[in-house]
């Protein structure tokens, strides 16, 4: 004899499963572009930080060279291919690989870096210093 009102079957119907899958697909379609944007922002921020580290290392090298008397003029340029190994010393001090930082160039006057560029993974970051405050822009 069958009981009325209660079913002995347990589980979900095919329609219920399809509805759940459609809802999950819609949520994934909205989430993936947002995650890609966050990943791109994180990579850019990492490159800005690397550029800033190279700048600090270059300033330390210029200051050290001045202290040792190796720099005898009030202005000049320090580059990755600079004479006297300053370029390699900057990368070593910054703790970055020459594969990552493919080029950099800083101008200094009175032994203080006044501007420059750093190329990281093909992206060029330009340093400008206004009233002693450094700022970076990507190009």
Q: Which of 114, 104, 105 is nearest to 75 (CA)?
A: 114
Residue 108: CB partners within 8 Å, gap ≥ 6?
Answer: 62, 75, 76, 77, 78, 114
Question: What is the rounded distance in angstroms from the CA atom of residue 139 to the CA atom of residue 131?
Answer: 22
As a dihedral over the C-alpha atoms of residue 64, residue 66, residue 69, residue 70, rounded to 10 degrees, the angle is 80
The dihedral of CA 31, 34, 36, 41: what is its sign? negative
Q: Which of 94, 5, 1 is nearest to 50 (CA)?
A: 94
Tell me: pLDDT of 110 over 60: yes
Q: What is the pLDDT of residues 27-68, one digit of tens each?
A: 999 998 888 889 989 998 999 999 999 999 988 988 888 888
Where exactly are the structural domains of the chain? 15-138
At residue 23, the pLDDT reads 96
Paired strand residues for 118:
104, 125
How is 48-72 classified by DSSP, letter by letter?
HHHHHHHHHHHHHHHHHHHHHT---
Question: What is the rounded distance in angstroms from the CA atom of residue 106 to the CA atom of residue 118?
Answer: 8
User: Which of 65-69, 70-74, 127-131, 132-136 is predicted with the least confidence, judged by mean pLDDT?
Assistant: 70-74
At residue 19, the pLDDT reads 96
As a whole number, mean pLDDT of residues 9-30 equals: 91
**Contact present, 96 and 119 (Cβ < 8 Å):** no
- Distance of alpha carbon 98 from its chain centroid, rounded? 15
pTM as predicted: 0.72
């Amino acid at each position: 004899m069958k009981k009325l009102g209660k079913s002995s079957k347990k589980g979900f119907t095919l329609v219920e499963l399809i509805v759940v899958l459609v809802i999950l697909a819609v949520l994934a379609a909205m989430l993936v572009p947002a995650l890609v944007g966050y990943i791109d922002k994180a990579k850019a921020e990492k490159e800005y930080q690397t550029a800033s580290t190279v700048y600090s290392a270059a300033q330390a090298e210029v200051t050290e060279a001045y202290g040792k008397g190796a720099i005898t003029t009030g202005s000049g340029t320090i580059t990755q291919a600079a004479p006297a190994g300053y370029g390699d010393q900057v990368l070593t001090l910054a703790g970055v690989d020459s594969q990552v930082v493919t080029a950099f160039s800083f101008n200094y006057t009175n032994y203080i870096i006044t501007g420059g560029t750093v190329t990281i993974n093909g992206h060029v970051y330009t340093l400008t210093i206004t009233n002693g405050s450094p700022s970076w822009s990507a190009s």
